[in-house]
């Protein structure tokens, strides 16, 4: 048991004075955020004085070691339930690709059993008032880490759907799924307003339209958290504060260069929506900020007291807790993964230190005792953490397995809703020669590496962190796009050749080519300069498959499975119809639902998706797909054809560029063109 560390009342007084002085300096600095800049947000979760009194009573009874333990989040792969008990850990998490006992196919009951053990351990710490532990997970498109769970389209596809009510329903479904595994905290919604889609996390962004992101963030939060009055509610996390999607060149964890107004109006939009809906936690961005209006480099967000303690907490009025990102504190100057007073003093409350959590606790206690961190800061952090836990019902005395969704496979699945989301997400870019809709009895040739590949459909954050290392067998309750086509057209009418060889396309009524990106997450998905955003530069096999079947007589319908818009003029020219399916998840039948006509020839369903981001017409686009000298994109945000409303897409020029420079984003572009 770590030595209990008591502190005299005199020390407490001295520390309170120091913290008050710090807060005064931040306010006096008036930087960066003039009060008028950041909106005051009234949360749907109101302050409750009776609850606050309980919080004060709990915190008052805690030692410094217990408080710092409560501020620490460990990975389940590196902290046992007994560690939670011995070190008073406030939270655990399973990162992408982390499962109970390292078992990829762990059943919901296995997850729930582990959650119960962590919970019971957190009640056995000896605290005067035991504080239940939180478990956070990246259920960012359904409960992605869990074998057998339904995976929804990633955010970029949901942005194409333009359906806020759908977002709320998906969030509510995700909360049930998370509770089915004994987990109570979701690291979602991500609310980046991505600017340069070279960014490896572009698919986690709903749209380049701040107004849509704000509305979606509110609805997602409401769907996930409700009023914490239902077993199907889970705690939301708005992330990553602030400017994660605005970095130069789309570099993941890079530098966002923008004036304060743009940071607030564009990159802040999702926070204002989610916080108004009552979001109780905010995750900090790895990225840095340079204010292009003043030229001041404000450094990494994890050390930015003015934006975290100042703007978010004091001015916006956020009274939940701020959580750091995975080992992000180690990126601050003078810090390591296990030691960072600067991040504590910046206003972060809970520290995601998956491996080095024990050293972090010891070092932080020492830094408090050395006067590098005020006790008042520690008390503020623990107060916020306990407040959120009380609001979320963690103190209701029921262990995770007593939640009515615990262990339920049916709560992990919502295939009908996910299939509906896929249908709504599809964007029709081109439809010449009446290639679509397909006649139900047509003889079809299907080609392309992503036709029968559920891992490609699902993308990152699916069973594993990057979504790699998975096969169709890892997704027992899922349908590939090919399975959907076969279900509508009839097995006997469909021939499949992944690379388009060994078959004569001329013998078929139509060819469907399902191509696209292979899974990635975060930095692994970056397209850094001098690379281009030309799809064929990374995936020549897709052009080859199209070349094998195009211009042979039958129309070619291309379905692109991708986490973002890409330069595909060469592929568009070889396609009579072109459908963007984004990253649809487990429900490939949602694609075939829209490709076919009914017996009478009328489409069964029309397309309704519209581009959430502009689509590039050059290999080296700037932010928002702008061409050289700000030339317009190939297709603007909002573009999307209908069966009932087509448009001719001419043969497109081919951009010879093979290398790109680093494109500086236009600054001061806070005004946004309407669709
Ligand atoms: C990752 C991501 C963040 C995620 C966290 C926990 O690095 O940046 O979005 O919630 O770590 O997996």
DSSP 306: I
Given a contact cutoff of 8 angstroms between Cβ atoms, the answer to whether 202 and 564 are in contact is yes
Given a contact cutoff of 8 angstroms between Cβ atoms, the answer to whether 408 and 550 are in contact is no
The SS3 call for residue 447 is: strand
Percent composition of the chain: helix, strand, coil (DSSP 3-state, to 5): 40, 15, 45
| Protein residue with least CA distance to atom 10, ligand 1 | 187
Q: Between the CA of residue 308 and those of 268, 271, 276, 305, 342, what are the distances in Å? A: 13, 13, 17, 5, 12
**599 vs 356 pLDDT, higher one:** 356
Given a contact cutoff of 8 angstroms between Cβ atoms, the answer to whether 186 and 178 are in contact is yes
Cα 522 to middle of ligand 1, angstroms: 9
| Protein residue with least CA distance to atom 11, ligand 1 | 326
> Which residue out of 168, 325, 452, 517 is catalytically annotated?
325
Cα 308 to middle of ligand 1, angstroms: 18
Following CA atoms 144, 148, 150, 153 in sequence, which dihedral angle do they give, to the nearest 10 degrees?
Answer: 50
Residue 451 has pLDDT above 90, yes or no: yes
Cα 361 to middle of ligand 1, angstroms: 21
Cα 162 to middle of ligand 1, angstroms: 26
Residue 31 has pLDDT above 60, yes or no: no
Residue 673 has pLDDT above 70, yes or no: no
CA 287 – CA 253 distance, rounded (Å): 4
Residue 670 has pLDDT above 50, yes or no: no
Taking all residues of the chain, what is their mean pLDDT, rounded to a whole number? Answer: 93
Cα 501 to middle of ligand 1, angstroms: 41
Q: What contacts 626, CB < 8 A, 6 or more positions away?
A: 614, 632, 633, 666
Counting residues of the chain whose pLDDT is more than 70, the rounded percentage is 93
Q: Which atom of ligand 1 is nearest to the CA of 96?
A: 12
Q: Give the residue from 614, 669, 209 showing the smallest Cα distance to 217.
A: 209
Please give the average per-residue pLDDT across 503-524, as a whole number.
Answer: 98
Query: What is the predicted pLDDT for the residue at 671?
Result: 33
Residue 21 has pLDDT above 90, yes or no: no
Q: Which atom of ligand 1 is nearest to the CA of 138?
A: 10
Q: Which atom of ligand 1 is nearest to the CA of 204?
A: 9
Residue 314 has pLDDT above 80, yes or no: yes
Q: Which atom of ligand 1 is nearest to the CA of 286?
A: 8
Q: Between the CA of residue 249 and those of 123, 286, 569, what are the distances in Å? A: 47, 15, 22
Q: What contacts 165, CB < 8 A, 6 or more positions away?
A: 219
Query: What is the predicted pLDDT for the residue at 646?
Result: 86
Cα 455 to middle of ligand 1, angstroms: 20
| Protein residue with least CA distance to atom 8, ligand 1 | 325
Tokens matching residue 71: 């501020």
Of 284-298, 337-351, 510-524, 615-629, which gets the smallest average pLDDT? 615-629
Residue 14 pLDDT level (bands cut at 50, 70, 90): low
CA 302 – CA 241 distance, rounded (Å): 9
| Protein residue with least CA distance to atom 3, ligand 1 | 325
For 114-148, the pLDDT digits (tens) are 999 999 999 999 999 999 999 999 999 999 999 99
State how far Cα 477 lies from the chain centre.
Answer: 23
Please give the average per-residue pLDDT across 537-562, as a whole number.
Answer: 98
Residue 9 has pLDDT above 90, yes or no: no
Where are the domain boundaries for CATH 3.20.20.300 in the chain?
9-146+181-407
Question: Which residues does residue 587 pair with via DSSP β-bridges, in sequence order?
Answer: 479
CA 387 – CA 588 distance, rounded (Å): 42
Could you confirm whether 325 is annotated as catalytic? yes
Q: Which atom of ligand 1 is nearest to the CA of 187?
A: 10
Given a contact cutoff of 8 angstroms between Cβ atoms, the answer to whether 444 and 491 are in contact is no
Query: What is the predicted pLDDT for the residue at 34?
Result: 57
For 191-233, the pLDDT digits (tens) are 999 999 999 999 999 999 999 999 999 999 999 999 999 999 9
Query: What is the predicted pLDDT for the residue at 35?
Result: 52
> Which residue out of 196, 522, 526, 587 is catalytically annotated?
522
| Protein residue with least CA distance to atom 7, ligand 1 | 326
User: According to CATH, what is the number of the domain 417-630?
Assistant: 3.40.50.1700
Burial class (CB in 10 A: 0-12, 13-18, 19+), 227: exposed
Q: Give the residue from 353, 400, 320 showing the smallest Cα distance to 120.
A: 400
Q: Which atom of ligand 1 is nearest to the CA of 95?
A: 12
Q: Is the dihedral of CA 314, 318, 323, 325 positive or negative?
A: negative
CA 385 – CA 541 distance, rounded (Å): 50
Q: Phi/psi of residue 366, each to 5°?
A: -60, -40
Tokens matching residue 627: 């061409």
Residues whose beta carbon lies within 6 Å of some atom of ligand 1: 95-96, 138, 187, 239, 325-326
Where are the domain boundaries for CATH 3.40.50.1700 in the chain?
417-630
Q: Between the CA of residue 411 and those of 95, 98, 178, 270, what are the distances in Å? A: 21, 21, 8, 28
Q: What contacts 206, CB < 8 A, 6 or more positions away?
A: 155, 156, 158, 159, 191, 212, 213, 216, 612
CA 16 – CA 390 distance, rounded (Å): 25
Neighbours of 39 (CB within 10 A): 15
Could you confirm whether 570 is annotated as catalytic? no
Residue 354 has pLDDT above 50, yes or no: yes
Of 436-445, 485-494, 666-675, which gets the smallest average pLDDT? 666-675
**H/E run at residue 533:** none
The residue to mutate among 325, 329, 353, 520, having the most atoms of ligand 1 within 8 angstroms of its beta carbon, is 325
Spatial strand order in the sheet of 91-94: 185-186, 134-137, 91-94, 72-75, 351-352
User: According to CATH, what is the number of the domain 9-146+181-407?
Assistant: 3.20.20.300
The SS3 call for residue 631 is: coil
**DSSP secondary structure of 398-420:** --GGGSTTTT-HHHH--HHHHHH
Given a contact cutoff of 8 angstroms between Cβ atoms, the answer to whether 49 and 332 are in contact is no
Counting residues of the chain whose pLDDT is more than 90, the rounded percentage is 89
Query: What is the predicted pLDDT for the residue at 647?
Result: 87
Tokens matching residue 238: 């708005």
Cα 325 to middle of ligand 1, angstroms: 6
The residue to mutate among 77, 96, 245, having the most atoms of ligand 1 within 8 angstroms of its beta carbon, is 96
Cα 171 to middle of ligand 1, angstroms: 18
Query: What is the predicted pLDDT for the residue at 629?
Result: 84
The residue to mutate among 92, 140, 187, 188, having the most atoms of ligand 1 within 8 angstroms of its beta carbon, is 187
């Amino acid at each position: 048991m770590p030595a209990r560390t008591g502190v005299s009342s005199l020390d407490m007084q001295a520390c309170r004075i120091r913290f008050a002085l710090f807060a005064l300096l931040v306010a006096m600095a008036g930087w960066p955020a003039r009060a008028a800049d950041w909106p005051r947000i009234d949360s749907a979760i109101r302050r409750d004085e009776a609850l606050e009194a309980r919080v004060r009573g709990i915190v008052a009874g805690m030692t410094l070691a217990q408080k710092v333990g409560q501020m620490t989040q460990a990975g389940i792969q590196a902290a046992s339930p007994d560690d939670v008990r011995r070190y008073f850990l406030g939270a655990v998490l399973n990162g992408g690709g982390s499962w109970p006992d390292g078992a990829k196919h762990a059943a919901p009951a296995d997850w729930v059993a582990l959650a119960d053990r962590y919970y019971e351990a957190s009640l056995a710490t000896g605290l005067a008032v035991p504080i239940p532990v939180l478990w956070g997970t990246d259920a960012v498109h359904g409960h992605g880490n869990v074998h057998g769970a339904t995976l929804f389209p990633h955010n970029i596809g949901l942005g194409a759907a333009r359906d806020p009510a759908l977002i709320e329903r998906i969030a509510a479904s995700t909360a049930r799924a998370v509770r089915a595994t004994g987990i109570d905290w979701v690291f979602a919604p991500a609310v980046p307003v991505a600017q340069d889609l070279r960014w490896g996390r572009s698919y986690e962004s709903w749209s380049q339209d701040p107004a849509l992101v704000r509305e979606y963030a509110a609805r997602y939060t409401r769907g996930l958290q409700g009023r914490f009055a239902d077993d199907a509610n889970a705690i939301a996390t708005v992330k990553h504060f602030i400017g994660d999607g605005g970095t130069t060149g789309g570099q993941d964890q890079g530098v966002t260069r923008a004036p304060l107004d743009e940071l607030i109006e564009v990159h802040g939009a999702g926070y204002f929506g989610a916080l108004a809906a009552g979001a109780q936690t905010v995750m900090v961005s790895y990225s840095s900020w340079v204010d292009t209006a003043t030229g001041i480099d404000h450094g990494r967000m994890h050390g930015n007291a003015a934006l975290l303690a100042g703007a978010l907490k004091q001015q916006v009025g956020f009274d939940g807790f701020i959580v750091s990102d995975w080992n992000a504190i180690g990126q601050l100057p003078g810090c390591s993964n296990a030691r960072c007073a600067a991040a504590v003093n910046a206003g972060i409350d809970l520290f995601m230190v998956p491996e080095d959590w024990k050293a972090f606790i010891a070092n932080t206690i020492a830094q408090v005792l050395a006067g590098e961190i005020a006790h008042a800061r520690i008390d503020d952090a623990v107060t916020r953490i306990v407040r959120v836990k009380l609001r979320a019902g963690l103190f209701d005395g029921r262990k995770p397995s007593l939640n009515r969704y615990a262990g339920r496979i049916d709560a992990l699945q919502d295939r009908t809703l996910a299939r509906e989301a896929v249908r709504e997400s599809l964007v029709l870019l081109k439809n010449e020669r009446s290639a679509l809709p397909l006649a139900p009895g047509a003889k079809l040739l299907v080609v392309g590496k992503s036709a029968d590949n559920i891992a490609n459909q699902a993308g990152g954050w699916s069973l594993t962190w990057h979504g790699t290392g998975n096969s169709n067998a890892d997704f027992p309750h899922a349908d590939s796009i090919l399975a959907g086509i076969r279900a509508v057209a009839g097995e006997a009418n469909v021939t499949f050749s992944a690379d388009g060889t060994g078959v004569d396309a001329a013998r078929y009524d139509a060819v469907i080519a399902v191509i696209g990106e292979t899974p990635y997450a975060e930095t692994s998905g970056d397209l850094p300069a001098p690379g281009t955003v030309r799809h064929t530069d990374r995936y020549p096999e897709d052009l080859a498959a199209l070349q094998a079947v195009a211009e042979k007589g039958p129309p070619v319908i291309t379905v692109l499975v991708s986490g973002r818009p890409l330069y595909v003029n060469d592929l568009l020219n070889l396609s009579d119809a072109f459908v963007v399916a984004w990253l649809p998840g487990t429900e490939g039948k949602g694609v075939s639902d829209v490709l076919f006509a009914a017996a009478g020839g009328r489409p069964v369903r029309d397309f309704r998706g519209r581009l959430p981001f502009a689509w590039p017409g050059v290999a080296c686009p700037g932010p928002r797909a702008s061409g050289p000298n700000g030339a317009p994109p190939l297709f603007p945000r909002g573009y999307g054809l209908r069966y009932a409303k087509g448009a001719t897409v001419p043969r497109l020029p081919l951009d010879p560029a093979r290398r790109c420079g680093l494109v500086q984003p236009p600054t001061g572009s806070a005004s946004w063109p309407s669709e």
